Amino acid sequence: MNKKNEEQAARDLQRLAGAIAGLPRSDLPERLLPQIMARIGPKEPSPSRRCWRWVQRWLRRSRGVAIGGATAFAVAMLIWSASTSMRHTSQPTSPTGKEVASESTGWRLAGSGAGQAKEVTFVARFPGAQQVAVIGSFNDWMPGRHVMHKALGSDVFSLTVNLPSGRYVYAFLVDGTLLETDSSALLQEDDGFGHTNSVLIIEDDNGRQQAGERHARPL
Amino acid sequence: MNYDDETQLIEDILDGEAAAYAVLVRRYQSPIHGLMSRMCRNPEDASDLTQEAFVVAYEKLEKFKVGARFFPWLYTLSLNIARDHLRKQGRVEIPASALHDGFMENIQDETADDALIEKIDSEKLFAAMDALGLETREVLILRYQEGLSIQDIADALKISVSAVKMRISRGLERLRVIFVDSIGGQEA
């Protein structure tokens, strides 16, 4: 093969690689994500894992205290052994009537075991955001009441609250300025002032709700 | 693919935040569904197998080494599920094979210029890649369509890095031979 042909062959290989990259992808089934999420339930962390995570969080908060990994492990083991030596269980009962929203952003319901109140977990991903709050009719639209927790090293924000059954409208307030709807919500409604709010309905029947439509928010 | 937040996501899931798993599902449903579609050639089966793969991955998440790349692990698991499905159906995986008669019929007989490969339709390319055998096809898809690193492909397919490089090189060359040399555009 002469030099010209070698160059042509190299170009051909590059173009083939490009052609593979451009191959059409299979069409995703419309309701794949909600169907998957409907089949899974929250995991129950082991006592040792809970202790370890508690210690990790404590270490992150205790900035003034220099403590090594080995010490942290020892603390975790002490707490774990103390917790397992107790006869009574301090573990929360597994939630029943779990409901996962149609999308990852949005909310998850679980029976709290306390009357008609339901545990609702809002989960949202806002790349680059520093602070996200859930504001809505359940907190008089006050940004400071339900500030979401940002997972360390990620742009996923989550917050779990207990809400009585009822109908609520809400939105995400990103960095105190940007109002974002939760497009995973089953319903959206105009607030009459040019904004759209998301609607959350918590029913009495163990928190069961219909899975919603897919939404376009990138994750 | 973005792996920056996966360790934290998986930690959150293991801590009981099931909703966080949806982030991973959304991120990887397309490549996994693509794999299942290529494996079973049936939209309904592909959908069911994709669901199955994600549910099984969730159930086995405690076995996943937190800090490692999630997608290669998920892909390996998915591939095994697809293979089990084919085995149960009495079907075999796609072996490397010769192209069927008439494959070249609609490819224009012209000299190999830069535009020739761009004229190849996707069906022809898929068929030619199938002829390379499952593992070579998957290596090429993972590398060029999914943009995985050589190391991640090696992890996903449980083969060595050098084997991945060799399959990429040989696979592309075989495709070039199929689409260019076979037409007679290249001089010997």
User: What is the full per-residue pLDDT of chain B (188 aa) written as tens digits?
Assistant: 445 678 888 988 998 888 889 889 988 999 999 999 999 988 999 999 999 999 999 999 999 998 889 999 999 999 999 999 999 988 766 655 555 555 554 444 444 455 555 667 788 888 899 889 998 999 999 999 888 899 999 999 999 999 999 999 999 999 988 887 655 544 43
Q: What is the DSSP letter of A152?
A: T
Fold adopted by B110-187: Arc Repressor Mutant, subunit A (1.10.10)
Supply the pLDDT for residue B174.
Answer: 92
Which helix (H) or strand (E) element contains residue A203?
none
Put simply, whether A125 touches B (Cβ < 8 Å) is yes
Q: Which CATH class is domain B1-95?
A: mainly alpha
Residue position matching structure tokens 């949806």: B22
Name chain A contacts of B19, Cβ cutoff 8 Å. 37, 100-101, 104, 106-108, 121, 123, 158
In B, which residues are within 8 Å of A28 by CB distance? 29-30, 33
Which residue in B18, B34, B140 is closest to A41 by CB distance? B18
B11/B61 Cα distance (integer angstroms): 10
B3 Cβ contact partners less than 8 Å away, ≥ 6 residues apart? B69, B70, B71
Q: Domain coordinates of chain A in residue numbers? A: 117-207
CB atoms within 10 A of CB A88: 5
Quick one: pLDDT at residue A51? 74
The residue of B48, B119, B144 whose CB has the most chain A CBs within 10 angstroms, and thus the best one to mutate to test that interface, is B144
Give residue A203's pLDDT band: very low, low, confident or very high (50, 70, 90): confident
The nearest CA of chain B is from the CA of A20 a distance in Å of 6
- Does the pLDDT value for residue A146 go beyond 80? yes
pLDDT of A204: 63
B110 in contact with A at a CB cutoff of 8 Å?
no
B99 or A88, greater pLDDT: B99
Please state the pTM of the whole predicted model. 0.58
Q: Scan residues 11-30 of B and list those with Cβ closer than 8 Å to A.
A: 11-23, 25-27, 29-30
**Cβ pair A20:B145 closer than 8 A:** yes
- CA geometry: angle at B55 spanning B54 and B59, to 5°? 115
How many Å apart are CA B140 and CA B164, to the nearest integer?
A: 9
In DSSP notation, B13-42 reads HHTT-GGGHHHHHHHHHHHHHHHHHHHH--
| CA-closest candidate to residue A109, choices A165, A36, A183, A31 | A165
* Position A69 confidence tier, pLDDT thresholds 50, 70, 90: low
Q: Summarize the confidence of residues A125-132 as an average pLDDT.
A: 84
The long-range contacts involving B14-17, CB below 8 angstroms and separated by at least 24 positions, are: B14/A43, B14/A45, B14/A49, B14/B61, B14/B62, B14/B66, B15/A43, B15/A45, B15/A49, B15/A53, B16/A42, B16/A43, B16/A44, B16/A45, B17/A42, B17/A121, B17/A123, B17/A158
Q: Where do you find CATH 1.10.1740.10 in chain B?
A: 1-95
Tokens of A198: 């998301």
d(C-alpha B151, C-alpha B160), whole Å: 8
Q: Is B51's CB within 8 Å of A20's CB?
A: no
With a cut of 80, say whether residue A149 has pLDDT above it: yes
Task: Region of B101 please: left (phi>0), alpha (psi -120 to 50) or beta.
Answer: beta
Say yes or no for a CB contact (<8 Å) between B21 and A28: no
Q: What is the pLDDT of residue A168?
A: 86
CATH of the structural domain A117-207, one choice from 3.40.470.10, 3.10.620.30, 2.60.40.10, 3.30.750.24: 2.60.40.10
- Please list every residue in chain B whose beta carbon sits closer than 8 Å to the beta carbon of residue A19: 117-118, 120, 125
* Total residues found in chain B within this entry: 188
| B122 chain-A contacts, CB cut-off 8 A | 23-24
